[in-house]
Amino acid sequence: MSTVTLEPLFHRCRRESPIHRFKPNPFRPFFLTCSSNLNLNASFTSRQPHIPISPAPAASLTDTPILHSPQCSETFFTNTFPINTTKMVEGKVFVRLDHGKDLRDWELTVGCNLPGKWILHWGVTHVDDVGREWDHPPRDMIPPGSVPIKDYAIETPLKKSSLSVEGDTLYEVRIDLKPNNEISAINFVLKDEESGAWYQDKGRDFKVPLVNYLKADTNYGPKRGFSLWPGSFGQISKMLLKSKGGQDDSSESKDQKQENNQLEGFYIEMPITKKVSINNSINVSIKKCFESEAVKNLLYIETDLPGDIVLHWGVCRDDSRRWEVPPAPHPPETKAFKDKALRTRLQPEGSGKGSSVLITLGEEFSGFLFVLKQNENTWFKYMGNDFYIPLSSSSSHREDHSKGVQREVTEEASQETSFFAFTDGIVNEIRNLVTDTSSEKNQRTKSKKAQESILQEIERLAAEAYNIFRSAIPTFSEATVMEPETTIVEPEATIGEPEAAVETETLTLDPKEYLGTGIGSETLTLDPNICSGTGTGYEILCQGFNWESHKSGRWYMDLKQKASELGSLGCTVVWLPPPTESVSPEGYMPKDLYNLNSRYGNIDELKDLVIQFHEVGIKVLGDAVLNHRCAHYQNQNGIWNIFGGRLDWDDRAIVGDDPHFQGRGNKSSGDTFHAAPNIDHSQEFVRRDLKEWLCWLRKEIGYDGWRLDFVRGFWGGYVKDYLDASEPYFAVGEYWDSLSYTYGEMDYNQDAHRQRIVDWINATNGTAGAFDVTTKGVLHSALERCEYWRLSDQKGKPPGVVGWWPSRAVTFIENHDTGSTQGHWRFPSGKEMQGYAYILTHPGTPSVFFDHIFSHYKNEIATLISLRKRNKIHCRSTVEISKAERDVYAAIIDDKIAMKIGPGHFEPPSDSYKWSLAVEGRDYKVWEAS
């Protein structure tokens, strides 16, 4: 009796599973509830037979055929089905405090032995620091490759340790500690960038105390576990794990250490679990073999799935794919199941990795059907159906199979892009319609420029319609909200100022120059009527404080003495600091919103200050911090997330995806501010209370509008709700994020950056402006590097928000964050007046910083403000850029003033106007037309 040798017959097209640095546990029935863990090409289901499997006699193997020198053709079918599953694996995180190379210094090491892209999110607590546990460490503590997170934290990647051994990779980061840094504790959480999960110590930030390190409120000890908070696309779950091992916690040793009050080294380990991806596959190959004028199908199945795998299989004779049992012979360890199918245990490979089986079938069958069983509750199917393998080499069968796979992927993709295609389609149809209609009348009535103006106006209206639709349904998924908004809003931003052109009844335009291109701008008039949230258009804003203003304790009284002077300088709006009780003295960590006794003064002094500004004709903006709020009380886990005062919210008012504060609210609609609980504005009671508070401030204090702090943290649609309720004269939001850089050098094209700001303004329905961070950034690079060509974008317009939506752009060169004693992004030293020469002559609403007004720049700034007011330059004025070269930028605004900045030469043309030099300073000049 001869046998068939497998190896020579098949090219085994094997997919090796990736090598993991841990030993995966066998699959458990738990994963049956997680079918989404598999990819589109295979599904993972629970198969429960209606009738229990009864013992069945083994299929007959006595009739195994004898193959004499079979002749086999090439493999006519082969396919690999990937199976992607996830599995929980156990590992450990360790924290070690030990002496550094210099025995006088210390070294803190944090490590993990699970695979992943681990990030240490950490900060320090300074000695005698009250109310703020997270802060930036000194520079000499920060390891290379770290990234600062605002002003309170550092993110440092863990790197592969030199102590790693084969099969057990260790990732760690080391932080040097100096004894003279006056740091009382290091706080951290671990972040896995691959999954977006945050790992904490039982819901709390991990804290390593460096003085009095056995105090009861610390949590570094060895009897702690870690809890898992999934990232932004996962469901929240908590896993409290028991720690392995322990240390001597005797009260005697504790007392001795506390008495000595000295730093001592320690080493602790905590168990953690992580969900990791496991990639397996099923490979199927078929060959035709000819023997004694008979044709046989040799079907070879192999898989690298672990465990004892059972093949549940059958055959069919036509496209109905009705299961039936083929006649013997069958492979070894095959049993019949209900006379409808066979079950064969796959044989282990000689290498010990995976298993396989060879099945011989007759030519009379058209297809092979199967599913794989891993255990009693775990089955593998193909896209929710049985695997089907065609046994015929005809093209029709193979086309059906390939189309089936492709159809599944295509349908999934179309669902994701259908909304984008719909919105894009609307704009395209409008474009085609207008183009066709206009072309018929082109010669009679319309110029090409007028056609384009009408076209752009329709696109703007389409964008507005989309935003209205979006604001009515704020619960869209991220994919359907963010991408269409960028796609549709861009035409609105690009066309300049059509919305501004129709927002007031007193604005008149020449129809042929609808978009304010500069030609025919003499017909443009703007009366000082108030447009809610955006003022009259002639505002000049002054920031009335800096980062140190709170230190006097009487800032309201000090500023009151300067009100008349600010009025005489030409300022029309003043921005005051946050008025509420705050954990931080500067006011940006508000606590009790109705308590207006702050480090700047009390409520009565604030009221007197506002009255004084009103008497000199200056409007007043309050600094409203709506994104976050500090709590009054701790919950049962010791987390500060219970509020007091008049707005005594509980943890439902906090977003649910902030890893620090255990909120029970919904997912945040913006970026997270990690230093305080982020407020969930989707809650009706939160919005109701905040609207009532803003209206109370308007009535009780007399505020005329708002400067809105950290508006990146929540959706602009909520801002619209607050502004509609409080009806401010003027409102501006702080949407500050990083510009675009390549290898440390600022990109010329900053459209993506200003688009994000425009998108936020759009989300507010245009009820608020935004600080033009883009313009500040471009000015930085242009002035620092003598690259004035940056001040003209690819279409010859200003490169910031002021070039796209000037009526909503609040231009500035410095504020309390970027300058003052913080200096996070200080304007190029000695070039401040070039910056003011730019923003005080251009459209947009210029903002002047307090520190600059009351400095040696005072007279120059006053002259530029006077020139702006004298020529009635406003937020929608037109700009014609005359020159943008390496060493000079020049522009003409409203045909009334000409300006240049930079060391290069420029003189305004004298063919149409006679120009006279009005003001001149270091590397800047401004002329007036006469």
As annotated, the active-site residues are: 709, 734
For the chain, the farthest-separated pair of C-alpha atoms sits apart, in whole angstroms, at: 113
Nearest of 853, 855, 844 to residue 543 by alpha carbon: 853
Q: Checking DSSP bridges between strand 769-771 and strand 541-543, what pairing results, if any?
A: unpaired
d(CA 891, CA 96): 61
Give the side-chain half-sphere CA count within 13 A for 287. 19
Angle 478-494/448-472 helices, nearest 10 degrees? 150
Nearest of 259, 265, 347, 355 to residue 305 by alpha carbon: 355
The pair phi, psi for residue 295, each rounded to 5°, is -110, 130
DSSP state of 324: B
| DSSP3 helix / strand / coil % (the chain, rounded to 5) | 25, 25, 45
Query: Distances from the Cα of 744 to the Cαs of 739, 747, 799, in angstroms?
Result: 11, 9, 19
600, 580 Cβ separation under 8 angstroms: no
One-letter amino acid of 541 = L
Q: Which residues pair with 717 in a beta bridge?
A: none
Nearest of 576, 541, 608, 600 to residue 868 by alpha carbon: 541
Residue 825, SS3? Answer: coil
Give the side-chain half-sphere CA count within 13 A for 241. 23
156, 145 Cβ separation under 8 angstroms: yes
Query: Distances from the Cα of 570 to the Cαs of 63, 609, 619, 640, in angstroms?
Result: 105, 18, 12, 45
Query: Distances from the Cα of 501 to the Cαs of 36, 47, 704, 877, in angstroms?
Result: 51, 65, 24, 11
Strands (E), 430-511: none
First to last CA, the chain: 113
By CB atoms closer than 10 A (0-12, 13-18, 19+), residue 444 is exposed
Strands (E), 648-804: 705-708, 730-733, 741-742, 745-746, 769-771
